[in-house]
Structure 1
């Protein structure tokens, strides 16, 4: 642990490290992120800097196109040109703490372009609590505010012309799975059926590096959000802000989000995941 790291714990058990100000390549989209995140049994359920996408940083909040600035990391998708390396990377920077407790963190941030101009200001809060013998819940809430004098546009590779449902950008969880991951909602199963859906909850099951099964149950889409899911190319799930059309935060306005991720040991079936999404325990 360093001065830039904070730990979230549940009943004294460390469950997540929050890296606040990572010293990483600007092309990887520097931003606060959670990694490793663990089940109460100790299984790691996030990945960071994976070889396939070095800019995937555990669980984080990031958007690839914020008024033309790439805050996601990696290449930028350019219409009629495809993915292109551009000098357009910004940073999501921590500015000050409000709360630093083992079960709750709250702080202020700025979303900046390559020249450090502030695109958005943010207040973010993270909290961890037990929801059963085998499960704990991460609650994340944020408020993104545009400058008083201009609208801010949020986009994705999909809104910039990439086909195939690549509408990612928002609250993204890069998972880890030693075996093919499974994803379902109350009415659909598999990447093709779930990607782009607006289901109230989603269950994602995988296998940690230790070989143990785990399940994530995510909820909290805001109006206009969609689920972005990958299980074949890599394991990951995102609350996508601009899945198939750009979104705008009007001048001086605030976009809020509130999501819950229940992290549990074991591979849950649909009924058990639905019970957790409804506030039950395991």
Structure 2
């Protein structure tokens, strides 16, 4: 079903002009005629790719795509997705599982996140919110997690950026405690991926990773920081784009460690289970919240910091809404 929110009066340089379409499997959201996101919430991927909702494509306001879907090197990478490789013995990331002393192994443990029901909301400022419930089902058919998830698409203060706010609340309904970890907690050094994970276009390979205080490069992998950014250049248009991911400290978790790579492929994400397992007790709820800024153009340390600061302000303003 298609929906249109008529243009609202200009607010500075910001202009509403929101449209969205939901076909019962995926929702697409556009601002000013540019489709900025598609969120597939009923995934039909193969079981060994851990079917789960994902964002792809994601575009800048200028129309450049900043995500990759099923890249040949890791077909279970899906744009931006909430993915956990070590939820106890189960894999909700996709692909093989890392086991201490045994390297990666294909195991019958790839679970799936199954959509239950949705709600949507839009306002006159051009902000769109989508919320839904999910059940996490192991490959053997056991229900282990019930999740309430939402995302909000917010147009930027200018015509060169917009922000995706992602929020999840996961409840352990397995009846037992679960340890959430990563390949690093299983013994693989500096490979603590898991959480909200972005896979960038192959053209972004060799791009620039930026962190607070002017820090750059893959040495930021495994470091704690409130945000991280990636700058890449597109094929065809030869334009640049900037992705900034910002953690919401109001959830009460420690500042996240980050998984980020520029080679052999571009990826980035706050990894809350990077180096230490987290005990997910039976019946408890874990909450995480992030902002992802998607901006046209290249960024130096100053611009990346400014985008991160604005996103952090947005998280603070909208906390609890």
Same-fold call, TM cutoff 0.5: yes
TM-score relative to the length of structure 1: 0.93
Distance change >3 Å, CA 279–CA 167, structure 1 → 2: same
2:105 pairs, out of 69, 72, 84, with 84
Paired position in structure 1 for 2:239: 212
Structure 1: runs of 5+ lacking an equivalent = none
TM-score relative to the length of structure 2: 0.82
Pairing 1:251–2:282 present: yes
Deviations along 1:52-99, whole A, 9 cap, x unmatched?
Answer: 111000100010111211110111101111011111111011111132
1:197 pairs, out of 217, 220, 223, with 223
Q: What secondary structure sits across from 2:302 in the alignment?
A: helix
Q: CA RMSD in A?
A: 1.9
Distance change >3 Å, CA 2–CA 208, structure 1 → 2: farther
Pairing 1:104–2:129 present: yes
Pairing 1:124–2:149 present: yes
1:183 pairs, out of 197, 209, 212, with 209
Q: Using the alignment, how far apart are the partners of 1:221 and 1:100 within structure 2?
A: 22
Paired position in structure 1 for 2:62: 41
Larger relative helix fraction: 2
Paired position in structure 1 for 2:308: 277
Pairing 1:25–2:46 present: yes
Q: Using the alignment, how far apart are the partners of 1:230 and 1:60 within structure 2?
A: 17
Please say which of residues 232-241 and 48-57 is displaced more in the overlay: 232-241
Paired position in structure 2 for 1:138: 164
Q: Using the alignment, how far apart are the partners of 1:78 and 1:38 within structure 2?
A: 36
Shift of 1:148: 7.3
Pairing 1:230–2:282 present: no
Paired position in structure 2 for 1:167: 192
Q: Using the alignment, how far apart are the partners of 1:99 and 1:202 within structure 2?
A: 29
Q: Using the alignment, how far apart are the partners of 1:12 and 1:122 within structure 2?
A: 32
Structure with higher RCO (Cα < 8 A, 6+ apart): 1
Paired position in structure 1 for 2:116: 95
Distance change >3 Å, CA 17–CA 209, structure 1 → 2: farther
Distance change >3 Å, CA 77–CA 30, structure 1 → 2: same
Pairing 1:4–2:25 present: yes
Paired position in structure 1 for 2:83: 62
2:292 pairs, out of 250, 261, 282, with 261
Alignment: residue pair count: 279
Q: Using the alignment, how far apart are the partners of 1:273 and 1:80 within structure 2?
A: 40
Paired position in structure 1 for 2:173: 147
Shift of 1:115: 2.1
Pairing 1:52–2:112 present: no
Q: Does the Cα contact within 8 Å between 2:248 and 2:291 map onto a contact in 1?
A: no
Shift of 1:100: 6.0
Q: Does the Cα contact within 8 Å between 2:60 and 2:162 map onto a contact in 1?
A: yes
Please say which of residues 28-37 and 248-257 is displaced more in the overlay: 248-257
Q: Does the Cα contact within 8 Å between 1:8 and 1:104 map onto a contact in 2?
A: no
Paired position in structure 1 for 2:139: 114
Q: Does the Cα contact within 8 Å between 1:176 and 1:207 map onto a contact in 2?
A: no
Q: What secondary structure sits across from 2:303 in the alignment?
A: helix
Q: What secondary structure sits across from 1:56 in the alignment?
A: coil
Shift of 1:177: 4.3
